[in-house]
Amino acid sequence: MAQFKAFAPDVEINGAAVLSVVEAMGTFRQTASNILGEHGIVAPEEGEWYSQQAWLDTFKDIAETMGDITLRMIGEKIPEVALWPPDVDTVGKALASIDVAYHMNHRGGKIGHYAFEAVGERSAKMICENPYPCDLDMGIIESTASKFAAEGVIPIVKHDRSQCCRKEGGNACTYLVTW
């Protein structure tokens, strides 16, 4: 599956997750709210559930009107506004917890996943098999790693070009993370 196409028609996303992304838009919150409204998500609320396809259509519109870099910037903001369990205190634990949060905020069928694989003491591979845009996931991974990296450490996230990409119609994107 490529990006922007839900894996199943009945998949829904939690309103709290929608609100966190709207919050992450900063000065563009109203723009995000307007685009959401165009896709039937009006005044999202915590505890309510919304069509993932409408949510994905919103991201597609953002990409088409504001560019892929905006998706990456939104992804970078999500870990800043997200709540983290108290035991998440390392880059590895944080990257592994992305999948847990993803499953907590989606329901209704096949949603995909974020697979974490430690490759070395300070390196990992993330395989993102989900319908979200590649640039959004890259921003989420980079910001998550930065949030939990030791002071002075700058994590690096690279798209593994030896693997297929969702932008090219692939089922997943693979990212190599070092810190």
Q: How confident is the model at residue 2 (pLDDT cuts 50, 70, 90)?
A: confident
On the question of pLDDT at 1 being above 60, the answer is no
Percentage above 70 pLDDT, the chain? 99
Over residues 21-31, mean pLDDT: 82
- The predicted pLDDT at position 161 comes to 92
Q: What is the rounded CA–CA span in Å between residue 43 and residue 41?
A: 7
Q: Is residue 170 scored above 80 in pLDDT?
A: yes
Write down the pLDDT at residue 21: 81
Per-residue pLDDT tens digits for 126-155: 999 999 999 999 999 999 999 999 999 999
List C-alpha distances in Å: 109 to 7, 11, 58, 165: 8, 5, 20, 23
> Does residue 159 surpass a pLDDT of 70?
yes
CA dihedral for 52, 58, 62, 63, sign (positive or negative): positive
CATH number of the domain within which 174 lies: 3.90.1520.10
pLDDT surpassing 60 at residue 113: yes
Which residue range forms the structural domain that includes residue 3?
Answer: 1-179
- Residue 100: count of CB within 10 angstroms of its CB: 12
pTM of the full structure = 0.91
Instruction: Mean pLDDT check: name the lowest of 19-33, 84-98, 162-176.
Output: 19-33
In 3D, which of 126, 163, 150, 3 has the Cα closest to residue 71? 3
Write the CB contacts of 27 (distance below 8 Å, at least 6 apart in sequence).
Answer: none
Average pLDDT, rounded, for the chain: 93
Q: Please state the domain count of the chain.
A: 1
The pLDDT of residue 45 is: 93
Q: What is the mean pLDDT of residues 82-92?
A: 89
Average pLDDT over residues 72-100: 91
